[in-house]
A and B are shown apart, each in its own frame.
Chain A
């Protein structure tokens, strides 16, 4: 399987996103907060006259919060169900080819990682965790508000 993967760093860990799902990598500057939205929704931003819902991956993974006050953040733009999201990550590194199908991770991961995991893939850069973007966007279930 030669799926292309985008390697990003979240909370100090290198993980892989399916590159096909990522439309672009942008630098976010302004961020409009969304009051009362779930914590992992960092806010809204505009990209080429589109509204992006910005997801703080750190919060989504329950690893703490990304500090958004220092201005420019790197983010991967994805589209899910017709909505555009920007996933805030620490660093966007490179695109690599997957050398294997994802396989279950048998080691114990953090609860946040466990939730978004699609399994482990082999790459030239060693094994990486493949992230389920939709689950990343859904955020921690416990914190999702029903109302």
Chain B
């Protein structure tokens, strides 16, 4: 708010300065229309802003002056000297007050009514200024942030200059990499890079604008609208200090306005209806903005009647946008999403403000064009929440580079939902009437072959490419088949030439790090050119998904072939992910096979039949909620419901039993046994025994202790108060046996078998004794 006031003060000062000459000229020539206009503009601006800032005195003054001047402008009154001096007195007073606001002081006490009265036709000259003398030397001025006004074009030029600089730097970096250079050159280049990066940040910030600029106009708009509709609406605005790219603010102005008009018109009920519904007669409209990652979220929440999903569905059916069968399968969320369909409006009658059914579809397409999303959530009778999600900036886009036929393209990362391999386990590709349909984990999504869309020849076999699941914006998923996936890059994107944009496929061009131009796809455009019917497909796709999900929730198992060729099954719930690792990531360490996945090392099961020849091994990552282990396998067969009976295994082991899955026997892997066996004692502190070792014996502490600990004991010394389950002592030392504690006596002489003591390097004997002791301890 303080910043806004500072802006207001700055603007007024600027206008006052400019007016200085005008006022004098107007005084000399009261019928000069252009002077009159500029003075009118000034008081009008002051009046408009005062209403927002709650400066009632300023408002009253400027309002009175505006009225008088409006009469003059409309020709209802001829300006005379009395009027001129009355207006001038008011402008002077406004100037004084603005000085006070700037200095953060209260207005000098005084009454403005005499000034206002002087405006009245036929008033007797301007009253002498009655305000107390304004203290001179306003110290507050120095504390105000120093600002200048710049033209936006200039800023844009600087911005594009910096973008070019970044690109030039990238090119230079590439050239430097190619040729051997002096260390000092590299150093200088590094410094230059740093400076450019810093500059880019700074200039990006200069393009940022507070979203307040967008919000400022809302209270007035809502006030006018609600007055027109006979409603009472209170606007609550929050998060105006969130910053957003200037261009972006312009792009969301219309969608936001439209949503708010809708909320006031359709959302919030008339006062009588609200009281009937048990609500306060004044409707509440909250508009808030916040930043979340590199997105800005703008919520528009009203407490009105909400959106009736069923009505929307009926409307959609009657307008033919939706089939009856489809309609019955829609989830409540999907029903609400129908408001974004063209030509639907639940308003009973069309009003001047909204309800013609054009709008929400336009809102969505406008928001999506800038890479944003509109979400809607509503409870009938309680209100509606609309959320606009828009990216922070348009110019720098994180993107994924892919290739087709050796040509690179970029895809904005915000649209990418996931990336799957065509020959992956959970992916099948079908062709139905010439159209590609990919089934990814039970979800049917339309497939678009990038090669076909672009008219290029794919250079990899159909089953070797990758599918990128794209959600252009909103919720229209499709899969794009590409040859290869390359890298993530932050790209400075520029609009391409009109002829290129006209293809509808591209969102812009940019230069990759290697200096070659890259085209950035517009995911929605690609879908359109690829002939995907987004809306209709998506609905059915979701229906398929939910249906299978319900059927499989309880007992679906993942059928796979183990490394030894056995047909096995694992309960799906414990499989976290599937990873493919290099053979060398699997090695025997600390007593068992372990696999390295990223920077974690997990115990590996199922790898008994691992062969030397296997270059890559696939591993299930199993998760019990706390711990993870790996399970090596050869291939996934399918995801199946487990319907047959389980015939339990005779002995506890890696397999808990055999069952019929998909008509053939399969071993069900006992995940519990796997975890209990492979995680070892280390993670089961509850079961640990307590072993007392002499704390003054270095051999015991250094050599024996790790073995005892590895066997699952907590090692204590004589001083500790825990009651030991096991006491280990050297022979010849006094053993202070605790109650029920088993005692192991170690001797340092290999000979001298006496039946009670164990030779200290008889590892097998020692482990046996430890195991026996732990068995008894339980």
Closest Cβ of chain B to A35, distance in Å, is 3
Does A103 count as interface, using CB distance less than 8 angstroms?
A: no
Name the one of A35, A38, A46 contacting B499, with C-beta atoms under 8 angstroms: A38
Name the one of B167, B494, B499 contacting A137, with C-beta atoms under 8 angstroms: B499
Q: Mark B532-572, 1 if CB is under 8 A from A, else 0.
A: 00000000000000000000000000000000000000000
Name the one of A36, A38, A44, A137 contacting B505, with C-beta atoms under 8 angstroms: A36
Q: Mark B189-228, 1 if CB is under 8 A from A, else 0.
A: 0000000000000000000000000000000000000000
Query: Is A144 a contact partner of B517 (Cβ separation < 8 A)?
Result: no
> CA of A52 to CA of B516 in the docked complex: distance in angstroms?
11
> CA of A81 to CA of B497 in the docked complex: distance in angstroms?
9
List residues of chain A with CB within 8 A of the CB of B698: none
List residues of chain A with CB within 8 A of the CB of B529: 36, 147
Query: Is A38 a contact partner of B502 (Cβ separation < 8 A)?
Result: yes
Q: Mark B147-181, 1 if CB is under 8 A from A, else 0.
A: 00000000000000000100110110000000000
Does A32 count as interface, using CB distance less than 8 angstroms?
A: yes
Name the one of B168, B455, B494 contacting A51, with C-beta atoms under 8 angstroms: B494
Does A72 count as interface, using CB distance less than 8 angstroms?
A: no
> CA of A34 to CA of B517 in the docked complex: distance in angstroms?
10
> CA of A117 to CA of B452 in the docked complex: distance in angstroms?
37
Closest Cβ of chain A to B530, distance in Å, is 11
Does A123 count as interface, using CB distance less than 8 angstroms?
A: no
List residues of chain A with CB within 8 A of the CB of B505: 35-36
Query: Is A34 a contact partner of B453 (Cβ separation < 8 A)?
Result: no
**Which of A40, A44, A146 has the most chain B CB atoms inside 10 A of its CB?**
A44
Closest Cβ of chain B to A98, distance in Å, is 28
Query: Is A49 a contact partner of B171 (Cβ separation < 8 A)?
Result: yes
Query: Is A45 a contact partner of B167 (Cβ separation < 8 A)?
Result: no
Interface of chain B: mostly helix, strand, loop or mixed: mixed
Does B378 count as interface, using CB distance less than 8 angstroms?
A: no
Closest Cβ of chain A to B373, distance in Å, is 25
> CA of A37 to CA of B499 in the docked complex: distance in angstroms?
7
List residues of chain B with CB within 8 A of the CB of A45: 517
Name the one of A34, A51, A52, A83 contacting B510, with C-beta atoms under 8 angstroms: A51
Query: Is A49 a contact partner of B168 (Cβ separation < 8 A)?
Result: yes
Query: Is B164 a contact partner of A34 (Cβ separation < 8 A)?
Result: no
The residue on A at minimum CB distance from B163 is: A49
Does B357 count as interface, using CB distance less than 8 angstroms?
A: no
List residues of chain A with CB within 8 A of the CB of B497: 41, 53, 83, 85, 137
Q: Show 19 residue pairs from A and B whose CB-CB distance is below 8 angstroms, ordered by the A residue.
A: A33-B407, A35-B453, A35-B455, A35-B503, A36-B454, A36-B455, A36-B505, A38-B502, A41-B497, A44-B509, A45-B517, A49-B164, A49-B170, A49-B515, A51-B494, A51-B510, A81-B498, A139-B499, A147-B504
Footprint of B on A, CB under 8 Å?
30, 32-38, 40-41, 44-46, 48-53, 81, 83, 85, 137-139, 144-147
Beyond known contacts A36-B529, A37-B503: 11 more, CB 8 A cutoff: A32-B407, A32-B516, A32-B519, A35-B454, A35-B456, A44-B519, A45-B517, A46-B517, A49-B168, A146-B502, A147-B503
9 shortest interchain CB distances as A-B pairs: A35-B454, A49-B167, A53-B497, A44-B517, A49-B168, A83-B497, A51-B509, A36-B503, A51-B517
